């Protein structure tokens, strides 16, 4: 009897220890709940960055950006070992690391793959966010060896390297041999890259799983698998986090308290975006009917004495920015310094003496009268509430702005596009006529966004076009010496600050809810506005 009892106790103890160890042992799979997969085609160079955030675990970029200094770096996880440029910035030389291997035996990464990736990005059918910029600026690539190449520019490309980092993966490097062998469609559904994770499984509309590459050429991942689950509803994603069904998900600001009360962690990428209100319709070649012209774009809207300017300034003064930071951003933001579109404190051309518009309803009403609106109710505007694909907190911000305008007496009609890409299509076609909030990402010098979003010949036009502003951006692009570039940036800052074609609101953070035992380190040379550093994530024991 005693023997049987002892045996039972031993078995129980063993089971207890096994179960305890199983619970304590770090899991080998990180589950990330995400709101969308986009087109579920990950042929990186031909896709928008809003879709590439998943494939960043699979693909490498040429360069990285230091998360402390913002400096663009080579040799810290990117495929470029070194890079340099001529004094006039008309040629960029890249030397690749040796031994970087594509997944599934597709060989070593060479400059042929880099050239092929850039060629894909510049195709007419490419949906790459900076396809137009690449086409306008890159003259050709001179291959000097399998590991060394020179990119020749059509004009000084001093902002060129901004588009080659992993902060926003505009140019993920794909395998030329693989894409040409299987075709673009299959290569997009089954991506082959050289980063720390390789593609394992994809179930359309449900999930995608990647697997760690053993003995990776740069950094072997800490966990075996990462699975992204498509979960459109924010509340459902947080519920999965609370129940342990997911370990990481982007959260909205109104979910912070709920996440923290459950003992979960909140990770904030501080100040990496600048929420603004774009006032679409300020096009030099608008395609909408004249009667559809919004009040902020009538006549010579760039004239500081015009009614259109007074409407824009009045709309800005009617916004209580501090209330947005306190009530929507839950304190994870600041109004200080948010004075000109795409300019972040410390960036070239930024004016520290500029101050944000105060909340001044009385002055707003006065300006509307000067603009020809006897009562605020005589002004009608349209506000779009479409959430951004990667930073959906723009929706509650735009809702708050619309309510503030309404409280002044302005008639506000709200609308929502089918999805974010269709909203982009409206402004590509130059027929958007509504206000929309967008969290502008930090990309380094403002020229990147000004060129991409502010020029008539650009891929999309968010900022507000005018002959003077287009010339200012051209001046930035052609400037060579640092003093000249600084002066050109400062002139663009002054124009945006004074003319307010886009209304800056504040600086905000991207927020993520995390399991308490998941660790997501920040690493020098690996800065990102969106989810990144997958290979460094691990579970605490």
Residues 158 and 166 sit within 8 Å (Cβ to Cβ): no
Confidence of residue 18 (pLDDT cuts 50, 70, 90): very low
If asked whether residues 64 and 199 sit together in one domain, one would say yes
Q: Is residue 252 part of a domain?
A: no
* Neighbouring C-alpha atoms within 13 Å toward the C-beta of 217: 21
> Any idea which residue has 């507000």 for tokens?
464
Residue 223 lies in a domain: yes
pLDDT tens, 212-240? Answer: 999 999 999 999 999 999 998 889 999 99
Q: Residue 4 domain-assigned?
A: no
pLDDT digits 0-9 by tens, 180-203: 999 999 999 999 999 999 999 999
Tens digits of residue pLDDT in 131-177: 888 998 899 999 999 999 999 999 888 788 988 988 778 899 999 99
Expressed in percent and rounded to 5, the helix, strand and coil fractions of the chain are 35, 20, 45
Residue percentage of the chain with pLDDT more than 90: 62
How far does Cα 113 stand from its chain's mean position?
A: 25
> Are 61 and 206 within one domain?
yes
Residues 270-322 have pLDDT tens digits of: 888 899 999 999 988 889 999 999 999 999 999 999 999 999 999 999 999 99
**Cβ distance 231 to 33 under 8 Å?**
yes
In the chain, the number of structural domains is: 2
Residues 85 and 114 in one domain: yes
Structural domain harbouring 79: 30-247+515-539
| 360, part of any domain | yes
Alpha carbon distance 417, 75 (integer Å): 42
Residues in the chain: 541
The reply to whether 177 falls in a domain is yes
CATH number at residue 129: 3.40.190.10
Residue 419 has pLDDT above 80, yes or no: no
Per-residue model confidence (pLDDT) at position 285: 85
Residue 71 in tokens:
């400096």
One domain, residues 71 and 36: yes
Q: Give the count of beta carbons closer than 10 Å to the beta carbon of residue 353.
A: 5
Q: What is the pLDDT of residue 523?
A: 58
What is the spatial distance between Cα 230 and Cα 34, in angstroms, rounded to a whole number? 5
For residue 79, give Cα distances in angstroms to 8, 50, 203, 333, 527: 58, 22, 30, 34, 16
H/E element holding 398?
helix 394-408
Residue 391 structure tokens: 């930073």
Is 198 in contact with 213 (CB distance < 8 Å)?
Answer: yes
Given the structure tokens 């096994």, which residue do they identify?
18
* 24 is a domain residue: no
Residues 6+ apart with CB under 8 A from 305: none
Residues 504 and 521 in one domain: no
Please tell me whether residues 346 and 402 are part of one structural domain: yes
Q: Which two tokens stand for residue 482?
A: 């640092």
CATH number at residue 449: 3.10.105.10
Beta bridge partners of 70: none
**3-state SS assignment for residue 175:** coil
Tell whether 241 and 202 lie within a shared domain.
yes
Same domain, 149 and 168: yes
Q: Three-state SS for 297?
A: helix
Model pTM score: 0.77
Q: Is residue 256 part of a domain?
A: no
DSSP structural state of residue 356: P
Residues 119 and 173 in one domain: yes
Tokens in use for 515?
């399991």
User: How is residue 349 written in tokens?
Assistant: 């051309």
> Taking the chain, what is the end-to-end CA distance rounded to the nearest angstrom?
39
Whether 58 and 193 have beta carbons less than 8 Å apart is answered as: yes
- In a domain, residue 71? The reply is yes
Q: What is the DSSP string of 113-165?
A: HHHHHHHHHTSTT---TTHHHHHHHEEEEEEEETTEEEEEESS--TTGGGGGB
Same domain for 310 and 295: yes
Between residues 21 and 299, the one the model is more confident about = 299
Q: Rounded to whole angstroms, how far apart are CA atoms 97 and 114?
A: 12
Do 231 and 305 lie in one domain? The reply is no
Same domain, 316 and 202: no
Share of the chain above pLDDT 70, in %: 89
């Amino acid at each position: 009897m005693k023997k049987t009892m002892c045996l039972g106790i031993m078995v129980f103890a063993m089971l207890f220890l096994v179960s305890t160890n199983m619970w304590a042992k770090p899991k080998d799979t990180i589950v990330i709940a995400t709101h969308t997969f986009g087109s579920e085609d990950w042929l990186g160079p031909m896709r928008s960055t809003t879709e590439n955030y998943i494939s960043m675990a699979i693909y490498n970029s040429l360069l990285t950006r230091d998360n402390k200094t913002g400096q663009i770096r080579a040799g810290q996880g990117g495929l470029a070992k070194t890079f340099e440029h001529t004094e006039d910035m008309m040629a960029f030389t890249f030397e690749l690391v040796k031994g970087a291997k594509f997944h599934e035996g597709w060989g070593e990464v060479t400059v042929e793959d880099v050239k092929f990736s850039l060629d894909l990005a510049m195709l007419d059918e490419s949906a790459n966010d900076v396809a137009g910029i690449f086409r306008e600026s890159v003259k050709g690539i001179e291959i000097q060896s399998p590991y060394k190449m020179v990119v020749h520019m059509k004009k000084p490309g001093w902002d060129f390297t901004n588009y080659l980092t992993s902060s926003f993966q505009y140019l993920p490097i794909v395998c030329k041999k693989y894409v040409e062998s299987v075709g673009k469609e299959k290569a997009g559904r089954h991506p082959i890259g050289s980063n720390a994770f390789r593609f394992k499984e994809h179930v359309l509309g449900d999930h995608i799983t990647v697997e760690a590459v053993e003995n990776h050429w740069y950094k072997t991942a800490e966990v075996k698998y990462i699975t992204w689950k498509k979960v459109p509803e924010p509340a459902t994603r947080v519920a999965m986090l609370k129940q342990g069904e997911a370990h990481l998900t982007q959260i909205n600001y109104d979910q912070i308290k709920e996440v923290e009360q459950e003992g979960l962690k909140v990770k904030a990428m501080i100040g990496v975006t600048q929420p603004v209100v774009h006032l679409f319709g300020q096009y030099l070649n608008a395609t909408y009917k004249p009667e559809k012209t919004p009040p902020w774009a009538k006549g010579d809207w760039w004239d500081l004495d015009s009614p259109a300017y007074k409407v824009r300034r009045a709309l800005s003064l009617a916004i209580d920015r501090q209330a947005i930071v306190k009530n929507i951003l839950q304190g994870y933001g600041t109004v200080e310094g948010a004075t000109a579109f795409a300019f972040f404190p410390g960036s070239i051309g930024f004016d520290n003496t500029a101050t944000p518009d105060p909340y001044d309803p009385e002055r707003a009403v006065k300006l509307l009268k000067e603009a020809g609106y006897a009562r605020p109710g005589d002004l009608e505007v349209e506000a779009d509430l479409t959430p951004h694909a990667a930073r959906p907190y723009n929706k509650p911000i735009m809702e708050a702005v619309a309510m503030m305008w309404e409280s002044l007496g302005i008639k506000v009609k709200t609308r929502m596009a089918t999805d974010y890409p269709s909203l982009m299509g409206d402004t590509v076609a130059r027929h958007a006529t509504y206000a929309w909030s967008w969290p502008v990402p930090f990309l380094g010098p403002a020229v990147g966004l000004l060129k991409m979003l502010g020029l008539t010949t650009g891929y999309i036009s968010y900022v507000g076009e005018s002959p003077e502003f287009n010339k200012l951006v051209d001046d930035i692009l052609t400037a060579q010496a640092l003093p000249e570039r600084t002066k050109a940036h400062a002139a663009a800052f002054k124009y945006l600050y004074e003319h307010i074609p886009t209304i800056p609101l504040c600086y905000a953070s991207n927020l993520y809810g995390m399991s308490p035992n998941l660790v997501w380190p920040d690493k020098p040379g690996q800065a990102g506005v969106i989810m990144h550093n997958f290979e460094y994530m691990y579970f605490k024991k």
